[in-house]
Amino acid sequence: MIAEDGYYAIPILPREIASRLQSKPEWPAELRNEYKRLHAEFTASKAEFSMWIRRDRDSRMNRTAKTILLLILDCLNFDTGRCDPGHEFIADELGISVRTVERTIPRIAASGWISITRRGKTTNFYRLKVSMKKVSEILDYVDGLREQRSEARERRRKLSDPTKMADHSNSDPTTVRSHDPTELAAHDPTKMAGKPMNRTFEEEPMNESSCSEGSEDTYPRESIPTEETQFGVWVRANIPDPTKRREALRLLRERKMTPEILRRLAA
């Protein structure tokens, strides 16, 4: 890559070498080797230039602009230094309209990648060059993004590794806190803060039996028949809803009838 006057440019075949190649029918060995070396440098510079183009985050360099610029770069001739693809050629190669090419090329020039010399209505001569400052900004952005991705991967790796939890050393990963989590707080959670419960005083004794216990006495288990001949009469006497009597008969035959179920069916 050629660096001069604050810009990077792609090296092409020097004119003195090009003239020597044209004047002789056969190339001397040293001239052939020099040509190969320069052409290799030209190819490497184009590849580096392409990488910079793809990584540019300039808003003017959208996908279409980058595709057009990469095609212009590909049209650069090493032997002659010419780079003058027409608008129609670019449009046909990329499958876009000529109007799109005409509208996009000025944006590419404004973003600092090419300089344009007019050679007709639809043909330009392009010189590919980019400022060193712009390249430095592109590379700094890429390096910063790479560091962010690396840090994110490291965080994910640590989170996925159960042996590397935060605030724990590798030598003592099982240390627990000093307090005993089984100890209750100093206050009694069953006592209200000096206030009686609604309509119930704290020191008032509870009833000896609950409502559920009294309900169980209403339908003692001994009252449930076990003889199948008694099922029909018993069901009609205890299950007022006719739609529930079939279920009651089934439960009696399967010996699954309980006082709780009887209360539900009789409700």
Least reliable range by pLDDT among 2-16, 94-108, 183-197, 221-235: 183-197
As a whole number, mean pLDDT of residues 51-74 equals 95
Under 8 Å between Cβ of 223 and 262 = no
pLDDT, one tens digit per residue, over 243-254 is: 888 888 888 888
pLDDT, one tens digit per residue, over 148-197 is: 888 888 888 888 866 655 555 555 555 555 555 555 455 555 555 555 54
Give the pLDDT score at 70.
96
As a whole number, mean pLDDT of residues 231-237 equals 87
More confident residue, 220 or 36: 36
Give the pLDDT score at 194.
52
Helices (H), 56-160: 63-74, 87-94, 98-110, 132-160
More confident residue, 65 or 21: 65
Nearest to 76 by CA among 19, 129, 138: 129
Give the pLDDT score at 230.
84
Q: What is the 3-state secondary structure (H, E, C) of 140-201?
A: HHHHHHHHHHHHHHHHHHHHHCCCCCCCCCCCCCCCCCCCCCCCCCCCCCCCCCCCCECCEC
Helix axes 63-74, 98-110, angle to 10 degrees: 90
Q: Where are the domains of the chain?
A: 2-136, 220-266
**How many CB atoms are closer than 10 A to CB 79?**
14
Q: Tokens 């809803």 map to which residue?
A: 241
Give the pLDDT score at 4.
86
| Alpha carbons 31 and 38: distance in angstroms, whole number | 11
Which value, to the nearest 10 degrees, does the dihedral of the CA atoms of residues 143, 146, 150, 156 take? 140
**Cα 155 to Cα 12, 142, 149, 173, 174, distances in angstroms:** 47, 20, 10, 19, 22
Give the pLDDT score at 218.
57
- Given a cut of 70, whether residue 229 has pLDDT beyond it is yes
Give the pLDDT score at 183.
53
As a whole number, mean pLDDT of residues 230-235 equals 86
Give the pLDDT score at 217.
47
Q: Does the model's pTM come out above 0.85? A: no
Please state, rounded to an integer, the average pLDDT across all residues of the chain: 80
CATH class given for the domain over 2-136: mainly alpha
Kindly report each contact of residues 249-255 with a partner whose C-beta sits within 8 Å and lies 24 or more positions away, as own/partner.
252/224, 252/225, 252/228, 253/228, 255/226
- pLDDT bracket for residue 71 (50, 70, 90): very high
